[in-house]
Amino acid sequence: MKKNSKAAPGTFLKVVKRIRSHWLLLVVSILCAAANVFLTLYIPVVNGRAIDHIIGKGQVDLAAVLDTLKVVCVCAGLAAAAQWVMNICNNRMTFEIVRDLRNDAMRKIEILPLSYLDSHPHGDIVSRVIADVDQFADGLLMGFTQLFSGILTILGTLGVMFSVNWQIALLVVFITPLSLFVASFIARHTFDMFKLQSETRGEQTAFMEEMIGNSEVVRAFSYEKKSLEQFDEINERVKKYSLRATFYSSLTNPGTRFVNNLVYAAVALAGALSALRGRLSVGQLTAFLSYANQYTKPFNEISGVITEFQNALACAGRIFELIEADPQIPEPENAVELDEVSGSVDVDHVRFSYVPEQKLIENFTINVKPGQRVAIVGPTGCGKTTIINLLMRFYDVDDGAIRVMGHDIRDVTRKSLRANYGMVLQETWLKNGTIRENLCMGKPDASEEEMIAAAKAAHAHSFIRRLPQGYDTVITESGGGLSQGQKQLLCIARVMLCLPPMLILDEATSSIDTRTEILIQNAFVRMMKGRTSFIVAHRLSTIRNADIILVMRDGHIVEQGNHEQLLAKNGFYAEIYNAQFTE
């Protein structure tokens, strides 16, 4: 709790820095607020003069009253125009800041290391960028709209009251600290509650995304009741923190209204006594009461602004945590652009682990010549996919080096490195858009003939043609009505269209039927000719023709050679192979 409270000032300074870049709109907003307050404060003075022109029966200066009414109308019109311009500036400033925040958050997500994304629920990250930014915008807009006007109104009314009767104005000033005490009490207690509310709401979003995204598994294992219990528990915490935050924030209105009534009563009593003694006219007393009402009203608004701003700061803190997260290691200034890659890859005494205490890859060394096919096999969790992550530089090695064309990949631009790899994973990824857009993602300038040829090579053309709009059929991120096998065929076609010099196939045919798999494997053989290929496979029948087979166990390469050599050794590879093909 204390840690969160201390985070608020730092977050506030970051918000101020964001506001400062929109100083012109801020200045115009403040000037319009000042004009609105001045005109609003001037109206009671004019009204007081009008009342003083109505002395009694038969003693009414109608012309003077009409003149003052005209002045009131002009002032009211100008005040409304000033407020309208102020609101335009505030809205523009708020939503430009929100736009920049979301842009910065999205840019940061694009350069965050995979370790960050793997360790944070995706739903929580989405909640920060969407829900928390919206909450921040609401608080900021309220602050801009009411804070400036409120402060200027307080200062203006005090100045006018002191000029009319300093004794009564002094009485008002003495009662004012009560409002400040109420606002301070609320601010101290609301930030922590709003912070907890925001964090738990992010947890709730992450849980919902997880359950909805895996609804088939949830239903297959009859997990509905358990998931509802978990959701109820998270929902209960959201309710508890929200109620506490609402409780403290709801003290604002009654607390400040009580102080407002005290001020109004004190001004009315003191003003009436002064009027009886002849120190104030009836019109001045009316104006004074109006000022007392205007003076206390901003305290009510500012207290509400402080409460809402605490929520905004809590949300802003979570956004800034994301924006300020450590990005992936930056590329050196003289980073090499890989060009005309033949496909030589050297892995030199590499050591890597996701968690320092748990060793995974140790002393991994291999020299891959251009055009060689390297298969990686081994039991689940031995580090096969981790090697792929290191080759693509999704993660950096802890020790040793990986070189492509003699260049350490840490000295190569990530874009040029990954552009030279074609990657098909067991988990398919498609974006919202047409089949055409998904296939041409790696080669946007591909011709229609090239795209169709790649689809035919991947044996995807026949089912694409049967879709309602063919290649222009729109699919969702999850693939819509496509089967898992069809989605995998689209991913294979996407790589076949690019045909980069190096390939990574991580269980690329795991969701495809046996007959189609044989056809795909033949297409892969043609595609891999002259290209360095890394193949991760559990079905050893698919990697018999590999030039090098790396047999992994517990992060170590325990055997290395081609299919015949490894069978002849009668070691771990032979054990795995015989387990698959011996009854």
> Mean pLDDT per 10-residue run, the chain (583 residues)?
51 84 86 84 73 61 74 86 88 88 88 81 82 83 76 79 75 70 66 77 80 72 80 86 77 69 75 73 70 70 70 83 85 83 86 81 85 84 82 88 89 87 79 85 85 86 86 75 78 84 78 69 75 80 80 81 86 80 56
Instruction: Name the phi and psi angles at 327, rounded to 5.
Output: -75, 175
- As a whole number of angstroms, the distance between CA 6 and CA 192 comes to 10
Q: Give me the residue label for tokens 């104006």.
A: 287
- Give the model's pLDDT for residue 164: 72
SS3 570: coil
- As a whole number of angstroms, the distance between CA 280 and CA 227 comes to 71
Q: Give me the residue label for tokens 């044989």.
A: 518
CB-based contacts of 460: which residues, under 8 Å, 6+ apart?
Answer: 486, 489, 490, 492, 493
- Give the model's pLDDT for residue 1: 37
How many alpha carbons fall within 13 Å on the CB side of residue 530?
7
- Give the model's pLDDT for residue 510: 64
CB-based contacts of 416: which residues, under 8 Å, 6+ apart?
Answer: 336, 337, 338, 339
Q: Are 200 and 234 in contact (CB under 8 A)?
A: yes
- Give the model's pLDDT for residue 83: 86
Q: Are 154 and 168 in contact (CB under 8 A)?
A: no
Q: Are 392 and 380 in contact (CB under 8 A)?
A: no
- As a whole number of angstroms, the distance between CA 231 and CA 126 comes to 18
Q: Is the dihedral of CA 115, 119, 122, 127 positive or negative?
A: negative
CB-based contacts of 14: which residues, under 8 Å, 6+ apart?
Answer: 316, 320
CB-based contacts of 459: which residues, under 8 Å, 6+ apart?
Answer: 489, 516, 519, 520, 523
Reading the block at residue 373, the tokens are 């096919």
pTM score above 0.85: no
Strand 407-408 versus strand 502-506 pairing type: unpaired
Q: What is the dihedral of CA 562, 564, 565, 568, to 10 degrees?
A: 150
- Give the model's pLDDT for residue 583: 47
Reading the block at residue 409, the tokens are 């990949």
Q: Which domains does the chain have, with CATH numbers?
A: 2-323 (1.20.1560.10), 345-581 (3.40.50.300)
